[in-house]
Chain A
Amino acid sequence: AQKITQTQPGMFVQEKEAVTLDCTYDTSDPSYGLFWYKQPSSGEMIFLIYQGSYDQQNATEGRYSLNFQKARKSANLVISASQLGDSAMYFCAMREGYDQFYFGTGTSLTVIP
């Protein structure tokens, strides 16, 4: 079974609108971390936001927030007020245990002027 599933290969959003990128995960471990990374066309992987399995509140970092629904095993990334520079690939990842770090296949986001 896939550990991380991102079902949206490509998404479009109008500039200044909000967009939600979906991520579901599979684990039976009570302790895990969820991460989102951005990969622009230049290729580097940029850390955006983190959510721990025991965190009660959803994580927020500037225009990024993580909609964490533990019972549904989902960790969706919400980007508010999209900007042209947000156009990139976005990867959801999960860490369980010291040597287990899983990435999804990514969602390509295009922001339309």
Chain B
Amino acid sequence: NAGVTQTPKFQVLKTGQSMTLQCAQDMNHNSMYWYRQDPGMGLRLIYYSASEGTTDKGEVPNGYNVSRLNKREFSLRLESAAPSQTSVYFCASSEGTSVWETQYFGPGTRLLVL
């Protein structure tokens, strides 16, 4: 099983450009998440999808949009990239949203916005 996969692994953007980060999971999980990781700040939740057909904002949603394309796929879009969005982006999934549900992470996407 591949688990959670993310594309691309690395991306360099210029300010104002747009891009979509792709995420897919093959564990038949219901819930999916997007985080960003900045130095010294741990991971912060951007958006999540508790189940297919639903999406909700997390702690730091500004500047991002998401689409839960189907049960397997959850994409994150930057409409107009800014240098403050330089970060490592992680997608994660869990079977459900109960407090005991473990989140499993993809390998991450390193994004540099110039």
Chain B residues near A83: list those with CB within 8 A.
none
Q: CB-nearest residue of chain B relative to A53?
A: B99
**Inter-chain residue pair count (beta carbon < 8 A):** 60
Q: Give the interface centre of A44, A53, A101 by most chain B CB atoms within 10 Å.
A: A101
Residue total for A at the interface (Cβ-Cβ under 8 A): 26
Q: Is the CB of B41 within 8 A of A95?
A: no
Chain B contacts for A32, CB-based, 8 A: 99
State the CA gap A60–B47 with chains docked (Å). Answer: 31
Q: Point out the residue from B48, B92, B106 that lies within 8 Å of A99, measured CB to CB.
A: B48
Candidate in A47, A52, A98 with the most chain B CB atoms within 10 angstroms:
A98
Name B's A-contacting residues (CB within 8 A).
33, 40-45, 48, 50, 56, 58, 88, 90, 92, 97-108, 110
